[in-house]
Amino acid sequence: MTILGALIPISVALGAFGLAAFVWCIRSGQFDDLEGDQHRALFDDD
Amino acid sequence: MPLDSRQASDKIDLLIPSLSCAGCMRKVEGKLVDAVGVLSARVNLTNRRVAVRFDPALTDAEVLIDMLGKIGYPARPLSRTDRNDPMAKQSRELLLRVGVSGFAAMNVMLLSIGVWSGADAAMRDLLHWASALIALPAMAYAGTPFFTSAWRALRAGSLNMDVPISLAIFLSAGNSVFETAMSGQHAYFDAGIMLIFFLLVGRYIEQMTRARARSSASELLAMTGRTTMRVFTNGDRQKIATADLMPGMQVAIAPGERIPADGRVVAGASDLDRSLITGESLPARAQPGTEVNAGTLNLSAEIIVEVTKAGDESLLAEIAGLVGAAERGRSRHDQLAERAAKLYAPSVHVLAALAFAGWLWVTGDGRLSIQISVAVLIITCPCALALAVPTVHTVATSRLFRGGIFLKDGGALERLCEVDTIVFDKTGTLTDGRPRLVDPLPDDHPAWPMIAALARASRHPYATALSEAASERGIVTADVQDITEIPGKGIVATLNDTEILLGRPSWVGASSGQVAFSLPDSDVVHSFSFAQSLRPQAAEVCETLRAKGYDLYILSGDHPDAVAEIAEATNIPKAKAELTPQAKHDFLKDLSAQGRSVLMVGDGLNDSPALAAAHVSMSPGSAADTTQSVSDIVFTGASLYPVLTALDVAATATRRARESIGIATLYNVIAVPVAVLGFVTPLIAALAMSGSSIVVTLNALRQRTLS
């Protein structure tokens, strides 16, 4: 069970990594126009 | 696209109200990027804006706006206050809190699974401490909106939804820390943080719905800052801000412009389109001495107007005042969710307190009693209730959005459901405001090319109708010279040195019709008559509405004959003509005094007091800006069909919202006794909470498939 001592911090660190990525997404404005981006994915040029 | 940082660039945000689909987004961006001097252009479809970076040496905002107008997307620059939108910042912050609480909830849940699957005492304590480490900071950060709102309510001496929520969060956190320290079995870190997560999701959804409404409000702000051409007594001209107009000043109004203030014509003669102000469908003559109102559209020639009343005193401002009064007078509608919340908060507190007192009295065990009352608070927490109405409104709003209907207030859906009477304006609402040619010449008639050429030169509605009829038939316009418009009479031009005329029958020398064409040299005369054209499907929509049991009325400012014609075409016998804005407003007040819930559909400025006085109001996208700002719902497109769609969607949405609140209540009816009796473990709390939230969300989504 001592393995938990390592596993818990690892899982928390992975979660924190995900959270940091999410924060970065918000900061860089990727959630500002969900409506437009869903269509933009289908445009072939630009 | 790559951006050279050394290149000088300027940035402007434009609001494009008609931006509503992927195709529009592409067209607007494509057009802008191809334009000279534009470095980049990016559309935000959610709030109908486009951000453009351009080289100020090569182009400017006016050129860009003009260009967009030409491809059918009228744009307006946004004012500075709009751009630093505090709501957008709030929305990002809220999303961040959703993210943090979601992260914490998932991790704590993972640790809790270890506890539930039967960890021994030492391991359980370790897992509890790890949970506390993640959950406590997350709760403190993500829960802040609830804490501040609850604190504000308490200080004002009232209770809102956030008070029991905050209490549940605080007590569950405090109790769980205590239990963990005492090596107890039950800690509620998972339930506490999950609670916050679900509630925040509900709030975020609500905020997204409101973002759309906000973009319609911005359209109004963008209106200020228009300019007018002032004419000095020595003949000099200067552009000044409309807001700076003073009585006594003279302004020049070019054809196609709206008159900025009430006044009197001092020079020039023209035809004026007063439909937006009075509802009259046909243009009125203007010559020196004619009194004119702000908002009137000048059609045929330049006129000079001396301002008599500007700003706060003009008819426009008077109507705006009437609107304000009507809006304040509208009894605040108690929304479904608010009514539920009012009952909810006190009963939860009483229940939790009773559970604590009861268990303390029976067992005398303080620790156990606190634990049970915390369980009651957590299990009754209104996750499902908080999600029920926002999810339903979001789904309904996006259904309406797809149909070209913009909802400015979620509460309008509930009000729309209670409607039993529908009042229509005539000009611009039931009709499309434009006359239609009823007796065209044969398609190959030799006079067509000349008529088309003359008609194209004027903005008079009859001329426009003729010119449209000509282009429908693919007529090539004749090459005529010296086209002159004589205000109030018609258009004269020459073709191969022969004079040709199009205009009033009496001027042209005809005896019938509303417009006539003549070649005076050769005695050729053709006269034309026009009828008002109904909006597409207007008659069917009215028929369907009547079949559904709604009571229909027409209120118009137009002449009785014109109103009677439309009343017959739509089969609405209850029609009133020649009403002033005040009279329309009073009529609506009378209806609501009789206990009716009225939906008012109108487009003119003269309708706006009535729209504000109605239970719910709708306007077509072609309506005046002020009118749109008063209406709860704005619909685009030529058809009147959106009125039906909106009523249908509202009916379904309100049914779903009621069901969802019912489900949430049923859940409490089952869960509360279980909690009060002390059977709720953290596992049961977690399952019950997510279960009810998911059921409520799925119920809201059911609207999509049922249409």
* Residue B168 in tokens: 């549940």
CATH classification (class only), B225-313: mainly beta
Contact B43 A36 (CB under 8 A): yes
Contact A1 B106 (CB under 8 A): no
- By the CB < 8 Å criterion, does B39 face chain A? no
Examine the pLDDT at B567 and tell me if it is beyond 70: yes
Contact B44 A42 (CB under 8 A): no
Examine the pLDDT at B493 and tell me if it is beyond 70: yes
- Pairing of β B498-503 and β B515-519: antiparallel
Q: What is the ipTM of this complex?
A: 0.83
Q: What is the pLDDT of residues B583-592, one digit of tens each?
A: 888 999 899 8
- Of B129, B135, B133, B101, nearest to B115 by C-alpha is B129
* Cβ neighbour number for residue B666 with a 10 Å cutoff: 13
Distance (Å, whole) CA B478 – CA B11? 45
Contacts of B90 in chain A (CB under 8 A): none
In contact, B184 and B95? CB cutoff 8 Å: no
Q: How far is CA B109 from the centre of its chain?
A: 41
Contact B45 A26 (CB under 8 A): no
Least confident stretch, B65-79, B160-174, B562-576: B65-79
How wide is the angle at C-alpha B407 spanned by C-alphas B583 and B384, nearest 5°? Answer: 125
> pLDDT category, B84, cuts 50, 70, 90?
low
A→B contacts (Cβ < 8 Å), by residue, are 1, 4, 8, 11-12, 15-16, 18-19, 22-23, 26, 31-36, 39-40, 42-43, 46
Distance (Å, whole) CA B439 – CA B442? 9
Q: What's the CATH code, domain B10-78?
A: 3.30.70.100
Average pLDDT over residues B63-76: 81
Least confident stretch, B129-143, B218-232, B690-704: B218-232
Question: What 3-state class would DSSP assign to B267?
Answer: strand
Task: Please tell me the pTM assigned to this model.
Answer: 0.70
Distance (Å, whole) CA B583 – CA B20? 36
Is B425 an annotated catalytic residue? yes
Q: What is the pLDDT of residues B149-189, one digit of tens each?
A: 889 988 988 777 788 888 888 988 998 999 899 888 888 88
Distance (Å, whole) CA B404 – CA B621? 9
Strands, E, within B438-570: which ranges?
Answer: 481-486, 490-495, 498-503, 515-519, 524-528, 530-534, 551-555
The minimum CA-CA distance between A1 and chain B, rounded to whole Å, is: 8
| CATH level 3 topology of B394-432+535-650 | Rossmann fold (3.40.50)
Query: How many beta-carbon contacts under 8 Å exist across A and B?
Result: 59
Non-local CB neighbours of B616 within 8 Å, separated by 6+ positions: B412, B415, B416, B419, B597, B598, B599, B600, B632, B633
The minimum CA-CA distance between A30 and chain B, rounded to whole Å, is: 10
Examine the pLDDT at B78 and tell me if it is beyond 70: no
Report chain B's mean pLDDT, rounded to a whole number.
Answer: 81
Residue B85's pLDDT is 62
Return the residue of A nearest to B127 by Cα. A8
What residues 199-228 of chain B have any CB closer than 8 A to a CB of chain A? 208
Return the residue of A nearest to B45 by Cα. A36
Of B10-19, B58-67, B94-103, B603-612, which has the strongest mean pLDDT?
B94-103
Distance (Å, whole) CA B546 – CA B595? 19
Contact A36 B25 (CB under 8 A): yes
- DSSP line for B654-688: HHHHHHHHHHHHHHHHHHHHHHHTT---HHHHHHH
> Where in chain B are the domains?
10-78, 89-213, 225-313, 394-432+535-650, 436-531
Contacts of A32 in chain B (CB under 8 A): 44, 46, 88, 92
Residue bearing the bigger pLDDT, B328 or B496: B496
Q: What is the pLDDT of residues B257-279, one digit of tens each?
A: 778 788 899 988 888 887 767 76
> pLDDT category, B221, cuts 50, 70, 90?
very low
For chain B, first and last CA: distance in Å?
42
What residues 4-33 of chain B have any CB closer than 8 A to a CB of chain A? 21-22, 25-26, 29
- Pairing of β B575-576 and β B551-555: parallel
> pLDDT category, B325, cuts 50, 70, 90?
low
Residue B318's pLDDT is 67
Q: What is the pLDDT of residues B526-540, one digit of tens each?
A: 888 888 888 888 889
The minimum CA-CA distance between B704 and chain A, rounded to whole Å, is: 17
Return the residue of A nearest to B47 by Cα. A33
Least confident stretch, B79-83, B241-245, B250-254, B615-619: B79-83
Examine the pLDDT at B307 and tell me if it is beyond 70: yes
Contacts of B201 in chain A (CB under 8 A): none
Among the partner-chain residues B29, B45, B107, the one whose CB lies closest to the CB of A12 is: B107
Average pLDDT over residues B85-92: 73
Contact A23 B96 (CB under 8 A): yes
* Residue B636 in tokens: 């685009």
Residue B331's pLDDT is 40
**Active-site annotation holder among B13, B425, B558, B603:** B425
Residue with tokens 């949405």: B653
In contact, B335 and B279? CB cutoff 8 Å: no
Average pLDDT over residues B386-415: 78
Of B79-83, B382-386, B409-413, B423-427, which has the strongest mean pLDDT?
B423-427
Residue B73's pLDDT is 80
Examine the pLDDT at B409 and tell me if it is beyond 80: no
Q: What is the pLDDT of residues B612-639, one digit of tens each?
A: 888 888 988 777 666 777 788 888 777 8
Contact A16 B46 (CB under 8 A): no
Average pLDDT over residues B505-512: 81
Average pLDDT over residues B427-451: 83
What residues 106-165 of chain B have any CB closer than 8 A to a CB of chain A? 106-107, 110-111, 114, 123, 126-127, 130, 134
Mutation for testing the B interface, residue in A11, A30, A32, A45 having most B CBs under 10 Å: A32
Among the partner-chain residues B44, B99, B100, the one whose CB lies closest to the CB of A33 is: B44
Residue B294's pLDDT is 79
For residues B468, B472, B476, B481, the Cα torsion angle rounded to the nearest 10 degrees is -10
- By the CB < 8 Å criterion, does B43 face chain A? yes
> Helical H runs in B42-85?
61-70, 80-83
Examine the pLDDT at B220 and tell me if it is beyond 70: no
Residue B222's pLDDT is 43
Residue bearing the bigger pLDDT, B179 or B380: B179
Phi, psi dihedrals of residue B575, rounded to the nearest 5°: -125, 140
* B504 burial via Cβ count (<10 Å: 0-12, 13-18, 19+): middle
Distance (Å, whole) CA B661 – CA B667? 10
Phi, psi dihedrals of residue A39, rounded to the nearest 5°: -85, -35
Residue type, B674: V
User: Furthest-apart CA pair in chain A: how many Å?
Assistant: 54
- By the CB < 8 Å criterion, does B92 face chain A? yes
Residue B631's pLDDT is 81
Among the partner-chain residues B22, B29, B95, the one whose CB lies closest to the CB of A31 is: B95
The minimum CA-CA distance between B371 and chain A, rounded to whole Å, is: 27
Question: What 3-state class would DSSP assign to B302?
Answer: coil
Residue B676's pLDDT is 86
Mutation for testing the B interface, residue in A12, A14, A23, A31 having most B CBs under 10 Å: A12
Among the partner-chain residues A11, A34, A46, the one whose CB lies closest to the CB of B110 is: A11
* Residue B235 in tokens: 């003949």
Residue B147's pLDDT is 92
Residue bearing the bigger pLDDT, B15 or B105: B105
Examine the pLDDT at B520 and tell me if it is beyond 80: no
Distance (Å, whole) CA B164 – CA B158? 12
Residue B706's pLDDT is 43
Contacts of B46 in chain A (CB under 8 A): 32-36
In contact, B73 and B24? CB cutoff 8 Å: yes
Average pLDDT over residues B475-494: 83
Give percent of chain B with pLDDT exceeding 70: 88
Residue bearing the bigger pLDDT, B23 or A19: A19
- Of B40, B352, B428, B6, nearest to B172 by C-alpha is B352
- DSSP line for B447-485: THHHHHHHHTT--SHHHHHHHHHHHHTTPPPP--EEEEE
Residue B358's pLDDT is 92
Residue bearing the bigger pLDDT, B398 or B30: B30
In contact, B515 and B502? CB cutoff 8 Å: yes
Among the partner-chain residues A18, A26, A35, the one whose CB lies closest to the CB of B103 is: A18
Among the partner-chain residues B26, B96, B208, the one whose CB lies closest to the CB of A26 is: B96
Mutation for testing the A interface, residue in B39, B107, B113, B399 having most A CBs under 10 Å: B107
Contact A33 B106 (CB under 8 A): no
Q: Which CATH architecture has domain B436-531?
A: 3-Layer(aba) Sandwich (3.40)
Distance (Å, whole) CA B413 – CA B209? 13
Q: What is the pLDDT of residues A17-42, one digit of tens each?
A: 988 998 898 888 888 777 778 888 77
Non-local CB neighbours of B136 within 8 Å, separated by 6+ positions: B173, B177, B189
The minimum CA-CA distance between B83 and chain A, rounded to whole Å, is: 14
Return the residue of B nearest to A43 by Cα. B26
DSSP β-bridge partners for residue B620: B635
Residue B212's pLDDT is 58
Among the partner-chain residues B99, B110, B127, the one whose CB lies closest to the CB of A19 is: B99
Residue B223's pLDDT is 42
